[in-house]
Structure 1
Amino acid sequence: MKIRGVILALLVAGGFYVMIQTIDEAASHPFERLQEQQLNGLSPYSFITIRQPGLHEQQAVTWRVDQVEEVDRLLQFLQAYDYERVDPDTLQLFDDQPLFTIDLHDETGNRMTILIEEGVLIHNDRLYYEVVNGPLQVDWLMEFILSNKP
């Protein structure tokens, strides 16, 4: 009888733990929490790569921004939003349309991509996050891109 009680208590505790984890994963998170989860205490982002799609079959233009102030400015902008992890299969991204993208890179090779028109963050091509309290201020992002264009 005691063994059944212990097993029942373990099952209830395990179910409660799984329920809490599921709620935590489904909830929206601020950008700071995403950075903690993704970088696992590693170095912060150190440079940005911006990709401007080509128009009318022109080649896409890509450039790198190394100024720490600009990286910090972009990170501060991203902190104004909350993000929710999503399954990439549920996203309806327009793969056939060229998109402006901003890639944040750190020293260890981790990368976070921002799909500007879609309001999606992609970390290392595996973890997808969508802006919850958006949409992203595209005007600010376009000004950021233009001010950093060589």
Structure 2
Amino acid sequence: MLREPRAPAEFRRVSPRFWMARQTVIALVFAPLLGGALAVMAALGGGGWVLLPAGVAALAVLQWVIELGRYRTWGYAEREDDLIVRRGLMFRRVSVVPYGRMQLIDVTAGPVDRAFGLATVQLHTAAAATDARIPGLLRADADLLRDRLAAVGEAEATGL
């Protein structure tokens, strides 16, 4: 069966709140580490110990840059027959999930996500390798996406 070429997918990005949530996690992890490094430096009288807090600060900045890149690469596109999810900073990954193959659609939110009003949509198929997740969606958007995907998936499955 011949098909017309598909139009390029219009990718939607995850919410900017996702980036704020990631920054919060970075701060919660690195602030105590930096405080401990400063305490060690003060207790041992400076000298070469100055490098310890400098190293922790450098790691925090590096993690911040990596997370910014990860945030910018997340995206998804709803097409006529499938959902495309892309992600990855160094190792790019594009998952194409046909609507008719979806078996379960979860919407989850951890404590940090809930604090920022975010949720993750997780798609499950029969093949574990084609599972896809879209983090960092506003909770209402995640619920709407889940409902749309469930409706389209049900329609596609009955068309077999």
Q: What TM bracket, shorter-length normalisation?
A: 0.3 to 0.5
**TM, length-normalised to structure 1:** 0.33
Higher helix share goes to which structure? 2
What TM-score do you get using the length of structure 2 for normalisation? 0.32
Which has the larger Rg? 2
